[in-house]
Chains A and B, each alone.
Chain A
Amino acid sequence: MNLHPLFVHGVHWPELLVIVIRVVVGFAALMGAVVMMIWFERKVISDMQARIGPNRAGPFGLLQTLADGIKLFFKEDLVPEEADRFVFKLAPLLSLVPAIVAFAIVPVGGVMSVAGHRFTLQIADPPIGILLLLAMSSISVYGVMLAGWSSGSKYPLLGSVRASAQMISYEAAMGMSVVMVVLLAGTLSTRGIVDAQSSTFFASWYFVRTGVVPFFIFLVAVTAETNRPPFDLVEADSELVGGFNTEYSSLRFALFYMAEFMNTITMSAVIVTLFLGGPDGPTPHVMVLNQLVPVAWFLGKTLLFLFAYVWFRAALPRLRYDQLMDLGWKVLIPLSLVWTLIVAGGLVAGWWVVGLAVALVVGAGLLYRAVVVGHWRVDAGIFPDAPDAPPVSRRQRGALAGRWVSPPATATAGATSGAAVAVGVAPGANAPLGAEPTATTDAGAARSAPDGSGRGGGS
Chain B
Amino acid sequence: MGEYLPILVLIVLGLLFAGLSFAASALLGPRRRPTSAKVAPYECGIVPDVEPPQRFPVRFYLVAMIFIIFDIEIVFLYPWAVIFRQLQTFGLVEVLVFAVVVFVTFLYLVSNGALDWGPAKRLERADTKRTTSSTVSRVPGGPPGEPSSGHEAA
Which residues of A come within 8 Å of B, CB atoms? 4-6, 15, 19-20, 22-24, 26-27, 72-82, 92-93, 96-97, 100-101, 104, 123-127, 131-132, 151-155, 157, 161, 164-165, 168-169, 171-172, 175-176, 179-180, 182-183, 186-188, 241, 246-247, 250-251, 254-255, 321-322, 325-326, 329-330, 333-334, 337-338, 340-341, 344-345, 347-349, 352, 363, 366-367, 369-371, 373-375, 377-381, 383, 385, 404-406, 411-412, 414, 416, 419-420, 422-423, 426, 434, 443, 447, 451
Q: When the two chains form their complex, are residues A76 and B29 in contact, meaning their CB atoms are under 8 A apart?
A: yes
Cα A369 to Cα B122 with chains together (Å): 23
Q: When the two chains form their complex, are residues A96 and B14 in contact, meaning their CB atoms are under 8 A apart?
A: yes
Residues of B within 8 A of A74 (CB): 28-30
Q: Mark B91-109, 1 if CB is under 8 A from A, else 0.
A: 1100110010011001110
14 inter-chain pairs at a CB distance below 8 angstroms, sorted by A residue, are A80-B41, A96-B14, A97-B11, A169-B63, A175-B71, A188-B78, A250-B29, A322-B117, A341-B92, A348-B89, A370-B110, A374-B114, A411-B127, A447-B123
Q: When the two chains form their complex, are residues A124 and B7 in contact, meaning their CB atoms are under 8 A apart?
A: yes
**Nearest CB on A from B108, distance (A):** 8
Which residues of B come within 8 Å of A, CB atoms? 1-7, 9-11, 13-15, 17-18, 21-22, 24-26, 28-30, 32, 34, 36, 38-44, 48, 50, 52-53, 56, 60, 63-64, 66-67, 70-71, 74, 77-78, 81-85, 88-89, 91-92, 95-96, 99, 102-103, 106-108, 110-118, 120-127, 129, 154
Residues of A within 8 A of B53 (CB): 154, 157
B91's partner among A169, A344, A375, A451 (CB-CB below 8 A) is A344
Cα A366 to Cα B11 with chains together (Å): 46
Residues of A within 8 A of B95 (CB): 341, 344
Q: When the two chains form their complex, are residues A5 and B74 in contact, meaning their CB atoms are under 8 A apart?
A: no
B96's partner among A124, A152, A330, A341 (CB-CB below 8 A) is A341
Cα A93 to Cα B11 with chains together (Å): 10
Q: When the two chains form their complex, are residues A78 and B117 in contact, meaning their CB atoms are under 8 A apart?
A: no
Q: When the two chains form their complex, are residues A101 and B7 in contact, meaning their CB atoms are under 8 A apart?
A: yes
Q: When the two chains form their complex, are residues B39 and A165 in contact, meaning their CB atoms are under 8 A apart?
A: no
Find the residue from A369, A379, A385 having the highest chain B CB count within 10 A.
Answer: A379
A73's partner among B29, B32, B34, B108 (CB-CB below 8 A) is B29
Residues of B within 8 A of A347 (CB): 84-85, 88
Q: When the two chains form their complex, are residues B24 and A73 in contact, meaning their CB atoms are under 8 A apart?
A: yes
